[in-house]
A and B are shown apart, each in its own frame.
Chain A
């Protein structure tokens, strides 16, 4: 594992049982992702992209192989350690935003910070900064149903950045958005990465994939091509989204 790698997969396998069939979702995948990189994982539906993302985010465990996240072997972690790792080192952005409808935008962003034990005043200040960063200043008291899809995804991105993660993982972040709104999210992701956030995005969106610095192509659970488009970004000391 190179000194700057924030994620490393080594010979990872993941199978599922669907009825009587055994589906090999991820087959012998080995991958290293450097700090400051922006990786798009692309491929046809059912090729194992989301399963790979779940493995990268310690949501799922491999049947074989190892997953190192920020230097820790996630495949050997118990539930409590894996949960803490997700809370402090990983940010998740989902296709359908998955915000809590009863909470305001700011409260949704505060949620991971509260779980991490941050004091109320501090987390309220940071939530405002993050909402401002993603372009939602003035919308902090709105609840998700009062926000557009693009705005909700921005709140979800701010939530993912709440505890200053080492890496942000996004599963089809523009999948529920129209082209124009999706372009806004693509631009925000590019800015995030330029400011030093390490990004791994699973997507069918060519525009979003085109904004990445590296594109990993998958088919039938395997990595079939790995393209380096640009060098990873350096860290920006002034961004509220930076790795804390």
Chain B
């Protein structure tokens, strides 16, 4: 009967109920988007870093990976040293450099990654086969379009350009063996990858046996922090950065996003509460006489209060479910726009749907709806009975 009364009450003014649900839906969508925004980039970045299973990154001492052009010397020795630890399962060296590919109408300058194809964690092959020997390369679709080339074509790649001598340190013909999606690079950014030794040779003597960073995968069960500390002791010329440290640094840089999300999320929650509170208060004021009659025939004050609070919760829940759909649609659209931001890795999402966070946000709204309805409900059910019957009964 309680549910029947709630239904009857909400269906009495259908347009008002619908508008209330829509209002809550917009508020819930904004709250959901803000929750997704506040955690999305961090989680997305975490997934990106851990996606290939490498928990540690080694960069030249005092730098962050690819923050500078600095490189780590004696890469072979570093790999050997790292393999001394039984806790280290795999080491993936990466050398970054700019290379130049002459084409009719001009030279295309692009990013090249020297990798060990057997353990690389920088790209996913999406067509063709991997570049396993010197003279082979995989490229991303953007570069393919820039070059007007296809898998199977051969191009000339030059590296180690000396602006004073106006010549390249190395130049060689390489076959494009596959198409790749580079995880840490932007979609609108050309890139290729080849075995690290080939890129070292191409980049000239300054890059001989050097790497920009090493990615290290610890064995299952190993304490990553202990491995990190061991590496820094064993290799004093490198900084070993764990995923958690990298994420903490990203979080620090994204603190503005989180603050913005927190403020806007709180505002949307308050708006939702005020909206439902106002509607419930209006509804209670309209029904004071009805409540007096119900009280007169023996309906308990708590039952009337529960009914009104349930009405608030139904409005909030219905609005929240609508808000879930609206929020996801909005987030998807905004993500499409923001992912075009220059220089951002293709795999980064601004809005990441996390069920727990979403249900927390929506649950918060539902509870807020109940609280918003509590005071007007109690007030409506607590008016002096005889006086209210005399003055307000319908």
Chain A facing B: main interface SS: helix
The answer, yes or no, to whether A110 is at the interface (CB within 8 Å) is: yes
Known: A98-B394, A100-B8. A60 touches B297 (CB 8 A): no
**Known A-B contacts A59-B389, A102-B8, A102-B11; A83 and B295 likewise in contact (beta carbons under 8 Å):** yes
Q: Is the CB of B385 within 8 A of A87?
A: no
Across-interface contacts of A160 in B (CB, < 8 A): 297
Partner pick for A54 among B9, B298, B301, B386, CB 8 A cutoff? B386
B381 CB, nearest partner CB in chain A, Å:
10
Across-interface contacts of A57 in B (CB, < 8 A): 296
Q: Is A75 an interface residue (CB 8 A)?
A: no
CA distance A34 to B293 in the complex (A): 26
Q: Which of A60, A90, A94, A163 has a CB less than 8 Å from the CB of B293? A: A94
Asked if B297 and A92 sit within 8 Å, CB to CB, the answer is yes
- In chain B, positions 331-351 with a C-beta closer than 8 Å to chain A are none
Which residues from B are CB-within-8-Å of A80?
300
Min C-beta distance of B387 to chain A, whole Å: 8
B300 near A115 with CB under 8 A, answer yes
User: Given the complex, which residues of B lie within 8 Å of A50, measured CB to CB?
Assistant: 390
- Whether the pair A51, B386 counts as a contact (CB closer than 8 A) is yes
B16–chain A nearest beta-carbon distance, Å: 14
Let me know if A86 and B393 touch, CB within 8 A: no
Given A51-B386, A59-B386, A107-B4 in contact, is the A100-B290 Cβ separation under 8 Å? yes
Interface size on A, residues (CB 8 A): 34
B303 on the A face (CB < 8 A): yes
Q: Are the CB atoms of A110 and B386 closer together than 8 Å?
A: no
Q: Is B166 an interface residue (CB 8 A)?
A: no
Decide: A83 and B4 in contact? CB cutoff 8 A. Answer: no
Which single residue of chain B is at the shortest CB-CB distance from A110?
Answer: B1
Mask of A82-121 contacts with B, CB within 8 angstroms, 1/0: 0111111011101010101111000100111011100000
Complex formed: what's the CA distance from A50 to B394 in Å? 17
Q: How far does the alpha carbon of A83 sit from the alpha carbon of B300 in the complex, in Å? A: 6
Binary CB contact string for chain B from 263 to 302 against chain A (1 if under 8 A, 0 otherwise): 0000000000000000000000000011001111111110
Does B297 lie within 8 Å of A112, measured CB to CB? yes
B12 close to A (CB within 8 Å): yes
Max chain B C-beta neighbours (<10 A), residue from A54, A100, A116? A100
Q: Tell yes or no: A159 within 8 A of B by CB.
A: yes
Q: How far is the CB of A163 from chain B (nearest CB, A)?
A: 8
Within the assembled complex, what's the spacing in Å between the Cα atoms of A85 and B303? 16
User: Scoring B residues 1 to 25 as 1 if CB is less than 8 Å from chain A, else 0, what string do you get?
Assistant: 1001100110110000000000000
Q: Is the CB of A60 within 8 A of B385?
A: yes
Q: Residue A79 at the B interface, CB < 8 A?
A: yes
Contacts of A91 in B (CB 8 A): 297
Decide if A111 touches B386 in the complex (CB within 8 Å).
no
CB-CB under 8 A from A92, the residues of chain B are: 296-297
Q: Would you call B301 and A79 a contact (CB within 8 A)?
A: yes
* Residues of B with C-beta under 8 A to A83: 295, 298-301
Interface 0/1 of B351-391, CB less than 8 Å to A: 00000000000000000000000000000000001100110
Select A94's contact among B8, B12, B294, B393, beta carbons within 8 Å.
Answer: B393
Q: Considering the chains assembled together, what is the distance between the CA atoms of A90 and B290 in angstroms?
A: 18
Q: How far is the CB of B6 from chain A (nearest CB, A)?
A: 10
The answer to whether A114 and B1 touch across the interface, beta carbons within 8 angstroms, is yes
Chain A residues, CB < 8 A from B5:
100, 103
Contact of B298 among A87, A96, A100 (CB under 8 A): A87
Cross-chain contact A59 with B299 (CB below 8 angstroms): no
Chain A residues 14-54 with CB under 8 Å of chain B are: 50-51, 54
Residues of A within 8 A of B8 (CB): 100, 102-103
Residues of B within 8 A of A59 (CB): 296, 385-386, 389
Q: Which of B4, B9, B298, B299 gathers most chain A CB within 10 Å?
A: B298
Cβ 8 A contact of A112, one of B12, B290, B298, B394: B298
Which residues of chain B are within 8 angstroms of A107 by Cβ–Cβ distance?
Answer: 1, 4
Residues on the B chain within 8 Å of A114, using CB: 1
- Indicate which residue in B289, B297, B385, B390 contacts A111 across the interface (CB closer than 8 Å): B297
Q: Within the assembled complex, what's the spacing in Å between the Cα atoms of A57 and B296?
A: 8
Does B298 contact A115, Cβ atoms closer than 8 Å? yes
- Identify which of B1, B295, B300 gathers the most chain A CB atoms within 10 Å of its CB: B1
The closest CB in chain A to the CB of B11 belongs to: A102
Give the CA-CA distance A57 to B292 in the complex, in Å: 14
With a cutoff of 8 Å between Cβ atoms, the chain B residues found around residue A54 in the complex are 385-386, 389
CA distance A163 to B5 in the complex (A): 19
Q: Are A60 and B295 in contact (CB under 8 A)?
A: no
In the complex, the answer to whether A111 meets B1 with C-beta atoms within 8 Å is yes
Is A98 touching B300 in the complex (CB atoms < 8 A)? no
CB closest residue in chain A, given B382 = A79
Contacts of A110 in B (CB 8 A): 1
Q: Does B393 contact A96, Cβ atoms closer than 8 Å? A: yes
Q: With contacts A51-B386, A79-B301 known, what are 15 further pairs, Cβ within 8 A?
A: A54-B389, A59-B296, A59-B389, A60-B385, A83-B295, A83-B300, A84-B298, A84-B300, A86-B296, A86-B297, A88-B298, A90-B298, A100-B290, A112-B297, A116-B298
Tell me the A residues contacting B by CB distance below 8 Å: 50-51, 54, 57, 59-60, 79-80, 83-88, 90-92, 94, 96, 98, 100-103, 107, 110-112, 114-116, 159-160, 163
CB-defined A-B contacts under 8 Å, sample of 23: A54-B386, A59-B389, A60-B386, A83-B299, A84-B298, A86-B296, A94-B389, A96-B393, A96-B394, A98-B290, A98-B394, A100-B8, A102-B8, A102-B9, A102-B12, A107-B4, A111-B1, A111-B297, A111-B299, A112-B297, A115-B1, A115-B303, A116-B298
